[in-house]
C-alpha cells in the first residue's frame, strides 16, 4: 500500500510486519522515531504478541535482545552513533553466539565533538563485529531490507544491521510502498532457532573456549558471511518476484555501459550521485555508479566484476579512517588488486556536512582527468584548518579545537545552507 510517510515510521511498519516478539527501546537520535512508533503499536496491541521493553541503556538493549533471541524469540532493536559504541561489547557477543537479531542503525557521526548528524562512522566502526551490514539508498529500500534482513539473519543464525542515513532518510517523508501482512508472511517464515534455551532440552550457551577451538569458531562465522554472499542476491531476486521491485542485493550498477570512471558509494548519497552522473552523461562523459548495498559481507568479486572494465574509480564515503584515509575505499582497492585501475578516495559529508551536486560535478570531473590526490576531503575549509594549526604552533593552551573553528567561521550555532 502506497503511503506518504516518514522514513522512521515506514521502517517501524516494516519491522512490525516481520512480527518481532521482543523489541528493546532506548532513545538516541536519529533512530528514536522508529522505536516510538513500534511502542505505540505494541501498546495498542496492533502488534501482538510482542514484549516492548524500555531499557536503561543501549548496552542493555543489545543484552536483552541477546537473552530474547537465545530463548527463541525474534528480537529487534534500533540505535545510532554513541549508542552503537556503548553496546559494542554486546554487539560482538550477539554475533559470536550466532543470534539472528536485526537492528536498525540510523547512521550518525561519533563524537567528540558531539554531533547528531549523518555519516557512516558508527556502523563502520563495527565492521569486524561479525554482524552483516546492509545499506539502504532510500526509504523504500530501508523498508524492504528489513524484511530481507530477518529472513537472512534467521536462515544463517547471524545478526544484521540495516543501515539508513540518519535524518536524510529517517526523517524524510517519501512515497513508500508498505507491503501487506500476507505478502510478508509468505516471504518470511517463522523463526526456528538453531539453538534455544529450553528446560526440556538443557544446553549451555556461551561457554569459555580456549585456543583449541576458538579459531574454528571464528572461521565458521566468516564462512557464514561468505555463504551470505550467495544468499543475498537470491533473497533479493525472490523479493523481486514476491513484491515486484528491486531492493537489496550485494551491489547495484547505474549507467555503467562503457564507463571509464566509476563512482563507488553507499547509502542515500547515491541519489545525488546518480543525478550528477545523469547530467555528466548528457554532456558525453563516460561515467557510472557502483552502489555497495552489502558492506558486510563485502562482495569482493562483485565489486571487481563491476569495476574491471573501467579505467578509474572514485570511492566517495561518509567515513574516515583517521591516520589512513578511507574505510570503504580500502575494501574496494582490495577487490581490484592487480586490475591496474587508478583509485581515488573522497571523504565527504562527515557529521552531516551537506554534499551538493555542484561539488560532486567538480570532483568527478577532476577524477576523470586524474587530477585528484589519493585522498580528497570534499568541502574542507582549508583556511579554518590552517588557522587552527597555526594557533597550535603559537600557543600551547590553544583552546578547544571545535570551538575555535566555529569562532573563526563566525558561527555561534551550527547551521547549514
Partner 1 sequence: MGFQPIKFYQTGTYTVGNRLLSPDQRSVQAAESRSNSINSGHRACQGCGEALGARYAIDAAMAESHNRLIAVNATGCLEVFSTPYPESSWQVPWIHSVFGNAPAVATGIAAAMKVKGKTDVRVVAQGGDGGTTDIGFGCLSGMFERNDDVLYICYDNQAYMNTGVQRSSATPPAARTATTMPVGPEPGNPFGQGKNLPEIAMAHGIPYVATATVADLRDLEYKVRRAMRMRGARYIHLFVPCPLGWGTASHDTIRIARLAKESGLFPVFEAEHGEVRSVLKIRRKVRVEEYLMPQKRFAHLFGSHPHPEMVIRIQEIADRNIRKYGLLDEEEAA
* Binding-site ranges for partner 1 (CB under 8 A): 21-22, 24, 49-51, 53-57, 59-60, 63-73, 75, 89-90, 93, 97, 197-199, 201-210, 213
Nearest-CA neighbor of 70 among 97, 91, 95? 97
Q: Which is nearer to partner 1, 16 or 290 (CB)?
A: 16
Phi first, then psi: give them for residue 378, nearest 5 degrees. -65, 130
Least CB distance to partner 1 at residue 54 (A): 7
Cell of 50: 510482542
Least CB distance to partner 1 at residue 180 (A): 23
Among left, alpha and beta (phi > 0; psi -120 to 50; other), residue 45 is left
Q: How far is CA 379 from CA 9, 47, 346, 374, in A?
A: 32, 45, 10, 16
Least CB distance to partner 1 at residue 48 (A): 9
Least CB distance to partner 1 at residue 93 (A): 5
DSSP code string of 345-357: EEE--GGG----H
Residues 263 and 272: their CA atoms lie apart, in Å, by 12
Q: Which is nearer to partner 1, 15 or 73 (CB)?
A: 73
Nearest-CA neighbor of 272 among 360, 399, 384, 207? 360
Radius of gyration for the alpha carbons in the chain, expressed in angstroms and rounded? 22
Residues 215 and 227: their CA atoms lie apart, in Å, by 18
Residues 62 and 55: their CA atoms lie apart, in Å, by 10
Q: Which is nearer to partner 1, 59 or 167 (CB)?
A: 59
Q: Which is nearer to partner 1, 66 or 169 (CB)?
A: 66
Least CB distance to partner 1 at residue 200 (A): 9
Least CB distance to partner 1 at residue 127 (A): 20
What is the sign, positive or negative, of the torsion defined by CA atoms of 121, 125, 126, 128?
positive
Q: Which is nearer to partner 1, 50 or 293 (CB)?
A: 50
Q: Which is nearer to partner 1, 65 or 115 (CB)?
A: 65
Q: How many residues in the chain?
A: 417
Least CB distance to partner 1 at residue 114 (A): 21
Cell of 363: 570532483
Q: Which is nearer to partner 1, 201 or 282 (CB)?
A: 201
Q: Which is nearer to partner 1, 42 or 348 (CB)?
A: 42
Contact in structure between 379 and 359 (CB atoms under 8 Å): yes
Residues 115 and 117: their CA atoms lie apart, in Å, by 6
Q: Which is nearer to partner 1, 23 or 251 (CB)?
A: 23
3-state secondary structure at position 412: coil
Least CB distance to partner 1 at residue 72 (A): 6
Cell of 266: 553507499
Least CB distance to partner 1 at residue 197 (A): 4
Contact in structure between 209 and 84 (CB atoms under 8 Å): no
Amino acid at each position: 500500500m502506497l503511503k506518504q510517510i516518514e522514513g522512521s515510521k515506514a521502517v517501524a511498519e516494516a519491522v512490525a510486519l516481520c512480527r518481532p516478539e521482543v523489541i528493546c527501546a532506548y532513545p538516541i537520535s536519529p533512530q528514536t522515531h522508529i522505536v516510538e512508533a513500534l511502542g505505540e503499536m505494541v501498546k495498542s496491541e496492533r502488534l501482538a504478541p510482542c514484549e516492548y521493553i524500555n531499557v536503561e541503556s543501549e548496552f542493555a538493549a543489545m543484552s536483552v535482545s541477546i537473552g530474547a533471541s537465545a530463548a527463541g524469540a525474534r528480537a529487534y532493536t534500533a540505535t545510532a552513533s554513541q549508542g552503537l559504541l556503548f553496546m559494542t561489547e554486546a554487539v560482538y557477543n550477539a554475533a559470536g553466539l550466532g543470534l539472528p537479531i536485526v537492528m536498525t542503525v540510523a547512521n550518525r557521526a561519533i563524537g567528540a565533538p558531539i554531533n547528531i548528524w549523518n555519516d557512516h562512522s558508527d556502523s563502520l566502526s563495527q565492521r569486524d563485529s561479525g554482524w552483516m551490514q546492509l545499506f539502504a539508498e532510500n526509504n523504500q529500500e530501508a523498508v524492504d531490507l528489513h524484511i530481507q534482513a530477518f529472513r537472512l539473519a534467521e536462515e544463517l543464525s547471524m545478526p544484521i544491521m540495516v543501515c539508513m542515513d540518519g535524518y536524510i532518510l529517517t526523517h524524510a517523508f517519501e512515497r513508500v510502498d508498505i507491503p501487506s501482512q500476507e505478502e510478508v508472511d509468505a516471504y518470511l517464515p517463522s523463526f526456528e532457532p538453531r539453538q534455544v534455551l529450553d528446560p526440556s532440552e538443557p544446553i549451555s550457551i556461551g561457554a569459555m573456549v580456549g585456543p583449541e577451538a576458538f579459531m574454528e569458531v571464528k572461521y565458521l562465522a566468516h564462512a557464514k558471511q561468505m555463504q551470505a554472499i550467495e544468499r543475498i542476491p537470491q533473497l533479493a531476486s525472490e523479493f523481486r518476484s514476491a513484491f515486484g521491485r528491486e531492493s537489496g542485493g550485494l551491489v547495484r550498477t547505474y549507467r555503467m555501459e562503457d564507463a571509464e570512471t566509476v563512482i563507488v558509494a553507499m547509502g542515500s548519497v547515491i541519489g545525488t550521485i546518480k543525478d550528477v552522473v545523469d547530467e555528466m552523461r548528457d554532456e558525453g562523459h563516460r561515467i557510472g555508479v557502483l552502489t555497495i548495498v552489502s558492506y558486510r559481507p563485502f562482495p569482493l568479486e562483485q565489486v571487481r566484476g563491476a569495476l574491471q572494465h573501467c579505467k578509474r574509480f572514485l570511492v566517495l564515503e561518509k567515513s574516515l579512517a583517521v591516520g589512513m584515509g578511507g574505510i570503504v575505499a580500502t575494501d574496494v582497492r582490495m577487490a581490484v588488486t592487480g586490475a591496474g585501475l587508478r583509485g581515488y578516495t573522497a571523504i565527504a559529508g562527515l557529521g552531516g556536512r551537506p554534499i551538493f551536486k555542484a561539488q560532486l560535478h567538480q570532483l568527478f570531473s577532476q577524477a576523470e582527468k586524474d587530477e585528484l590526490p589519493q585522498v580528497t576531503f570534499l568541502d574542507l575549509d582549508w583556511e579554518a584548518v590552517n588557522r587552527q594549526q597555526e594557533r597550535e604552533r603559537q600557543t600551547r593552551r590553544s583552546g578547544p579545537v571545535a570551538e575555535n573553528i566555529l569562532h573563526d567561521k563566525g558561527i555561534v550555532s551550527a547551521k547549514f545552507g
